[in-house]
Amino acid sequence: MSKNDGPIKTEFSKMLEIDYPIIAGPMFLVSNEDLVSAVSNNGAIGGAPSLNWRTTELFKAAVQKIKTQTKKPFVVNLIVNKVNPRVDADLDICIEEKVPMVITSLGNPKTIIEKVHSYGGKVFCDVTDMKYAQKVQDLGCDGVIAVCSGAGGHAGPISPLVLVPYLKTKIKVPVVLAGGIATGRQILAGLVLGADAVQIGTRFIATKEAGVSAEYKKAIIDANPEDIVLTKRISGTPAAVIKTQYIEKTGLELGFVEKLLLKNSTTKKYMKLFRAVVGQKALEKAAQTTTWKNVWSAGQGVGLIDEVLPASTVVKNLIHEYWEAKNGI
């Protein structure tokens, strides 16, 4: 490693005792044991959702495998709301295995924060606006993930140029920028905006280790930012995916009846659960096999990705690009 590829010290990297303030975003069906450990072993921090494994027992086995493959910190993402019936059981595994860092999505993270803190772990919470960021800060989280426009999956509506500096006016815990980042130059830009770290997802789909089909990885390489659209037909809320023939055919909005049922206080909960299950199955099928019904989650960073690489090389390239930009090379 040259002096120009050295560690990047921020409050986040110091907190987690890692070389680089980069999270490989926990991605549904994409992140697996090999991807997580490869990223962590190369100085950043790898992450995966607990729901990538079909049962809590399989999730426990995956965490144990990651711990045999890396001695560095890693991340588990927990969906906190009622759509996830496994949250309590999966949290118990995080406690038992002392998972170093947990990222929460949706719902109230109060219990997660308390229990993860009990063994010395860190909790960061996905946020898309100031109100929720202040709420989770008051609950005692260690930091927030600012999910901005341009992100894959459930992207927030606010530009990263605005959300990060806006949050920094009132949020005192570390802020992690997520949304459209695929290069080291963008990492530098994020830190200049005030972020303490960045979360990168889509760039790590196009890696050797990512647990998805070759066709999905090729779709990432072939896609442009203009090909990323927001659809409500996966979970009921806007999610960023690659525009395929199937997405064009099904449309981006929910049907009239489903919209009606989501507005009704009696049926709202059941419709959310139904939409989440249907969307999850569509994503599962598309991630592993190629049919005309392709639903491929991705962010606008696809336009900056042109090859499938080992995760270790991706991290090294990001750092080299960062220092080149930092030093004005």
Give percent of the chain above pLDDT 70: 83
pLDDT for residue 118 is more than 80? yes
Whether the pLDDT of residue 283 is over 60: the answer is no
Helices (H), 23-128: 33-41, 56-69, 87-96, 110-117
- Model confidence band, residue 254 (pLDDT cutoffs 50, 70, 90): very low
Q: Are residues 102 and 245 in the same domain?
A: no
285 near 244, Cβ under 8 Å? no
pLDDT digits (tens, 9 = 90+) for 178-227: 999 999 999 999 999 999 999 999 999 999 999 999 999 999 999 999 99
DSSP string, 288-311: HS--S----B--GGGGG--S-B-H
Q: Are residues 123 and 246 in the same domain?
A: no
- pLDDT per residue as tens digits for the range 27-43: 988 999 999 999 999 99
Total number of domains in the chain: 2
Q: What is the mean pLDDT of residues 248-264?
A: 53
Q: What is the pLDDT of residue 256?
A: 44
Lowest mean pLDDT among 154-158, 167-171, 283-287: 283-287
Same domain, 198 and 262: no
What pLDDT, on the 0 to 100 scale, is given for residue 249?
A: 65
Q: Do 157 and 255 share a domain, yes or no? A: no
Give the torsion sign (CA, 46, 65, 67, 139): positive
Range(s) of the domain holding residue 13: 3-211+307-326
Judge if 152 and 100 occupy the same domain.
yes
What's the pLDDT score for residue 275?
45
pLDDT, position 84: 84
119-153: buried (b, 16+ CB within 10 Å) or exposed (e) per residue? eebbbbbbbbeeeebeebbebebbbbbbbbbbbbb
182 with 304: CB under 8 angstroms?
Answer: yes
On average, the pLDDT of the chain sits at: 88
Closest CA to 284 of 298, 292, 295: 295
CA–CA gap between residue 216 and residue 206 (Å, rounded): 8
Looking up residue 167, the CATH number of its domain turns out to be 3.20.20.70
Same domain, 155 and 42: yes
> How many of the other CB atoms lie within 10 Å of CB of 170?
10
pLDDT at 216: 93
For residues 189 and 322, what is the distance between their CA atoms, to the nearest angstrom?
9
Question: SS3 for 11?
Answer: helix
More confident residue, 206 or 246: 206
Which residue, 59, 49, 55, 56, is CA-closest to 29? 49
Compute the distance between CA of residue 324 and CA of residue 96 in angstroms, rounded to an integer. 42
**Bridge partners of residue 231, in order along the sequence:** 239
The amino acid present at 209, given as its one-letter code, is E
pLDDT of 153 = 85
pLDDT value at residue 266: 58
Give rounded-to-5 percent helix, strand, coil for the chain: 45, 15, 40
280 or 5: which carries more pLDDT confidence?
Answer: 5
Alpha helices, DSSP H, located in 70-197: 87-96, 110-117, 130-139, 160-168, 184-193
Task: Say yes or no: 207 and 220 in one domain.
Answer: no
Q: Residue 290: pLDDT band by 50, 70, 90 thresholds?
A: very low
Alpha carbon distance 325, 319 (integer Å): 10
Mark whether 272 and 315 lie in a shared domain.
no
Q: Do 234 and 146 share a structural domain? A: no
Number of residues that make up the chain? 329
> What is the distance, to the nearest Å, from the Cα of residue 53 to the centroid of all Cα atoms in its chain?
16
- Section 89-110 average pLDDT: 96
Model pTM?
Answer: 0.86
| pLDDT value of residue 4 | 66
Q: Kindly state whether residues 255 and 160 are assigned to the same domain.
A: no
Classify the C-alpha dihedral 191-193-199-203 as positive or negative.
Answer: negative
Same domain, residue pair 47 and 155: yes
Please state, in angstroms and rounded to a whole number, the distance separating the CA atoms of residues 147 and 176: 8
Residue 106: band (very low, low, confident or very high) from pLDDT cuts 50, 70, 90: confident
Asked if residue 278 and residue 165 are part of one domain, the reply reads no
